[in-house]
Structures are given as C-alpha cells and as structure tokens.
Amino acid sequence: MSKGVITITDAEFETEVLTADLPVLVYFWASWCGPCQLMSPLINLAATKYSDRLKVVKMEIDPNPLTVKQYQVEGVPALRLIKGEEILVSFEGVIGKDKLLSLLDPHLNSN
C-alpha cells in the first residue's frame, strides 16, 4: 500500500480514483500556482496521516483538461474527495491543516 502522494493523469484517473477501494483525495494543482506550493506539505501530511483509510493523488491541471472539466475545477489549488463515483468533498483555495482535517475526518473515521 502506498503511503505517498501519487501523481496521475487523465488516462489513469478511472483506475487510480474511480475504482479505488478507499476514498481518494484528488489534489488539483499547477506549476505556476504559488498557493499550490503552500498546500503541498498538507497534501503529503494527509497521505501520511490517513494512509490506511485514504488514497491521495495529485493532478496537474494544464496537461489533464478532461478531469479538470469533469470535476468542474475552476481554480487551484482544488481538492475533491471521491469515493467511487461520488464527490464527498469539493473545495477550492488554500486551507490550513485544521480545515483540511475537518473536511476529511467525517468521511474517514473508522469506527
């Protein structure tokens, strides 16, 4: 099981996200996006903290227009928490650690 953030493309989206056993946090970013660089450590933290309950992938928006359009990503950084075909969380903009964890926790608590 991977503990890190996996970089994916449009072509890999279905395999890596839609058919995954775990909920998947998709992090949309761009190389030219300053705020995205602030979010990267948080995305890595989520991948580590929830490694047993969450898969984390990142997708650069410019080379992957199909997924960006399908998930209506209008600004970066953007997050989508997806389980199967369902979007559990949709968020755009920079957030802090507490906010990120509060978005994820309700969907990941394994009781």
Q: Is pTM beyond 0.85 here?
A: yes
* pLDDT for the residue 110: 56
Instruction: Identify which has the larger pLDDT, 111 or 27.
Output: 27
Span 11-21, pLDDT tens digits: 999 999 999 99
Bridge pairing between strands 86-92 and 6-7? unpaired
Q: Which residues pair with 24 in a beta bridge?
A: 55, 82
Six-digit token string for 35: 């705020």
For residue 64, give the nearest of 97, 36, 30, 89 by alpha carbon.
Answer: 30
Which residues are the active-site residues?
33, 36
Listed in sequence order, the DSSP H helices in 1-111 are: 10-13, 34-49, 65-70, 97-108
pLDDT band (50, 70, 90) for residue 111: very low
